[in-house]
Structure 1
């Protein structure tokens, strides 16, 4: 039975939370009095369901349901985790917590998406302050893993640990902020950049597009995989961070920024920024911009995943959590996944080279299933592909779900032959692969019989698949 999460507020952030929980197998109860809540949620879910599965090689869990509830009491009934994402008005949040705690389980975690308030502020007047914790995410919640987890002295330690465990299981990275501070960590950094950007526009030094170009073509790319301090450590050369700080530290006294001075947020400044922003990206509506953003994030995150670096390492860990051992079906379902955006060619369908990747992944699953796993390879044994024959039968599009069914056609001595069929969920065959492999010694790089236990499993599979 799926676990149940309650989401209070279904806007951009709340809807993102609902989508991530549901796509990771949780049943979601959503409360939002907005009459357009169902339409907005369906559009957010459509984008999330297209993008999130592209990050993983492992199959996604069975999708949870999203139920729109008429009251908060209905939404929180039976919920193990509750995420509040209502507008940033403290009195409104206090009112919400009163109603939540009157109806929810005492064992439930109540997380707040607040970007500015401290947990102590949120807990004022609460019947059970120990239940409440800040869990501040980043948009889009269904793709970006960071969530700032901020307890107060009144937050029960078990609530913090349960929140960490829950958020990790749905593929997020809970950053435990050890001290309460307005706007936590990330938004304080963003606020500094935002203030300086407003002055650059107001003073006519740069347009909104020029500022965005400076970020996305320069330091933004470094920050995506190294952050701030590690980037500057490299800038210090062989002498490291100490040299960097000695060289550039004096610049902190120069009048480069206006961080303590804020431009007046008058109609003229709002109009100027709005006009420049519309000129920059107004040709695309918000859904088109979201898709562009999501596709770019998927490609960047998957590139980091290929390097086992930064946020990509988190995806590998989540893949491991999602992947289940192969069931002993005939044929074996060796791959169950979605075509990611970085597998597309200029025609918008999956590049032929990626079919080789798919069938290689399928054979790797068979190897693991029979015991020729990472430990087996580290011990000096493996299977090498000697011959492959792929037939392309239909287009495979980005965002499309597919499975690979694999039969062991030959498992005898050092020889292994696998027949793969790549299919849509409807059963339509997209491609086939006839793959012949030889078992080798990694010491001599010559073919040899597998170790007895692996050979026995291979022979058993071949017999089962011949009989099936």
Structure 2
């Protein structure tokens, strides 16, 4: 699949990264001579952070190319994302040029923050092709994209747009009525207006306002939004009680939402000076990485709760696993006579330590996940465990052979050294490409969950183990297997 990105700035670069790291070939068209450098820097951040959101292997990265000719960039593309400056005349002229060259069934998405699709479609040769697909920065991490169509857009095209965006791990919020600035930016605009007044009137500095958000309601909003947060605030009586209690305050002169301070030179300078004092110690690239670190950590925490953005990531992991190299059981193994692929993923940002490389505890976590996958492959899956049988790890030995850093794509290949009766002896090899990073040796016992005592596994598992035993009988004994830490001389 091919995506064409028209405009390679911050948003266009983020779109390029989102498509590219999800396996699409990406063509970028931007007249800026620095476009390749700028997009490349965005990609550096994305390669470090986005793959770590997933606990399943992303598809192989697509091919990236840069084009000076717009027609060349869009020809054959299934998705064309326009991210040029917010000038209606410019956008319309770009669409006219795109539609002279693009395929008839291509979707043209606009990153516009405020224009309605009917405004973008005016005078278009094929208005039904153009939709608003408004993302949030950084596009390669934040899942929300506001999808807005007009009456000219058919339901089939909207459904296809949603399918493509969902396949990128995004959350397409279908805004069903055209409105200036859509939904999210209207909410942001309300907070922004009030913040400008607080700075202008000397009530708070830029740093104090940011502190009020990031230490308070911003955290609540990140996992529960606005209405659900207030529903909880209403206690057992719920939303009606909350509105009855706090609704009258809406008539009090607490905010100045319908008024905007004049952005005088003095006010602009005051805001700039406070902002520089607040965060000027870091470069923009450093701030982007700090932001990405925090976003990945928060969203991965939400994965563990299967909530909010975390539930979306878990759903994407399931899609990737179902169609990836780790799908299926023993019968799906291409060559059972070789070590079996049991893990493929990126090292997430929160797996690194104070030395800047993968924390030693995370090697065990990765090997444990590989063991779990091996158990699934031989038939010790969730259904089997629910019936009362499982494997318990009795002993583990890990050798740390080389270091690996955030964003690196690792894989684990597993050799079964023994699978007989109640005993299971596994040896894992962890690689980054061809570089051996670590080995993990694990001895497990099959147990009855009712008695918590060792017992033989079920016949289907015994048959799977026998097949692997026969297939891997000719493999040499792995270096390091059976080893222990030597006693100092």
4+ aligned runs moved over 6 Å, structure 1: none
Cα contact 1:116–1:184 (8 A) shared by 2:
yes
Q: What's the offset of the Cα at 1:399? A: 2.7
Q: Secondary structure at the match of 1:20?
A: helix
Say whether residues 1:435 and 2:448 are aligned partners. no
Distance 2:131 2:43 in 1: 26
Q: Secondary structure at the match of 1:42?
A: helix
Q: What's the offset of the Cα at 1:348? A: 2.4
Within a 5 Å distance, the mapping from 1:69-218 to structure 2 comes to 69-218=67-216
Distance 1:19 1:349 in 2: 24
Tell me the alpha carbon deviations over residues 284-308 of structure 1, each in whole angstroms, 9 at most, x when there is no partner: 1111111111111111110111111
The answer for the alignment partner of 1:355 in structure 2 is: 363
Distance 2:27 2:192 in 1: 35
Distance 2:5 2:441 in 1: 48
Tell me the alpha carbon deviations over residues 122-149 of structure 1, each in whole angstroms, 9 at most, x when there is no partner: 1100011111111100000000000001
The answer for the alignment partner of 1:335 in structure 2 is: 343
The answer for the alignment partner of 1:447 in structure 2 is: 454
- 391-400 vs 307-316, which moves further: 391-400
The answer for the alignment partner of 1:365 in structure 2 is: 373
Tell me the alpha carbon deviations over residues 324-369 of structure 1, each in whole angstroms, 9 at most, x when there is no partner: 2544341112112222121222332222222221111001111122
The answer for the alignment partner of 1:414 in structure 2 is: 422
- 8-17 vs 382-391, which moves further: 382-391
Say whether residues 1:55 and 2:53 are aligned partners. yes
Q: Runs of 5+ in structure 2 lacking a partner? A: 327-332, 476-489
Tell me the alpha carbon deviations over residues 40-61 of structure 1, each in whole angstroms, 9 at most, x when there is no partner: 0111111111110111111121
Distance 2:342 2:249 in 1: 57
Q: What's the offset of the Cα at 1:403? A: 1.7
- 450-459 vs 172-181, which moves further: 450-459
Match of 2:382 among 369, 374, 382: 374
Q: What's the offset of the Cα at 1:423? A: 2.1
The answer for the alignment partner of 2:403 in structure 1 is: 395
TM-score, structure 1 normalization: 0.97
Cα contact 1:131–1:156 (8 A) shared by 2:
no
Q: What's the offset of the Cα at 1:445? A: 2.5
Say whether residues 1:466 and 2:473 are aligned partners. yes
Distance 1:466 1:116 in 2: 65
Q: Secondary structure at the match of 1:106?
A: coil
Distance 1:84 1:379 in 2: 53
TM-score, structure 2 normalization: 0.93
Q: What's the offset of the Cα at 1:393? A: 2.5
Change (3 A) 1:325 1:371: farther
Distance 1:78 1:268 in 2: 51
Q: What's the offset of the Cα at 1:240? A: 1.1
Match of 1:383 among 378, 385, 391: 391
The answer for the alignment partner of 2:354 in structure 1 is: 346
CA RMSD of aligned residues (A): 1.3
- 307-316 vs 371-380, which moves further: 371-380
Distance 1:210 1:277 in 2: 11
Match of 1:16 among 14, 18, 21: 14
Distance 2:7 2:257 in 1: 33
The answer for the alignment partner of 1:457 in structure 2 is: 464
- 331-340 vs 102-111, which moves further: 331-340
Within a 5 Å distance, the mapping from 1:202-241 to structure 2 comes to 202-241=200-239
